[in-house]
């Protein structure tokens, strides 16, 4: 994972929030969603700026069943 703390300087912006989340861990994704809803009430917009690097062909990758691309 590269630069997981890269958004620290943006974490407490006036009109936006930054939650660093390891999207390869479902428990961490769920925790971040819970934190966002608790703090903001709902999610109006979401930017997924995550990248994933697999050491084999994508067609052979399985994470909890599937990876959705699109």
Residue 1: band (very low, low, confident or very high) from pLDDT cuts 50, 70, 90: very low
Q: Give the model confidence (pLDDT) of 28-59 as tens digits.
A: 889 989 998 998 888 888 777 776 666 666 56
User: What confidence tier does 61 reach under pLDDT thresholds 50, 70, 90?
Assistant: low
pLDDT (0 to 100) of residue 54: 60
**Angstrom distance (rounded) from CA 27 to CA 21:** 10
Of 28, 24, 22, 27, whose CA–CA distance to 61 is shortest?
Answer: 24
Q: What is the distance between the alpha carbons of residues 41 and 38, in angstroms, rounded to a whole number?
A: 6
pTM, 2 dp: 0.53
Q: What is the pLDDT confidence band of residue 2, given thresholds at 50, 70 and 90?
A: very low
* 10: Cβ contacts below 8 Å, ≥ 6 apart: 16, 18
């Amino acid at each position: 994972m590269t630069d997981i703390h890269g958004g620290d300087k943006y974490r407490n912006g006036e009109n936006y929030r930054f939650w660093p989340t390891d999207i390869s861990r479902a428990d961490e994704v769920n925790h971040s969603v819970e934190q966002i809803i608790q703090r903001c009430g709902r999610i109006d917009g979401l930017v997924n700026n995550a990248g994933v690097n697999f050491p084999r062909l994508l067609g052979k990758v399985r994470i909890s069943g599937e990876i959705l691309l699109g």
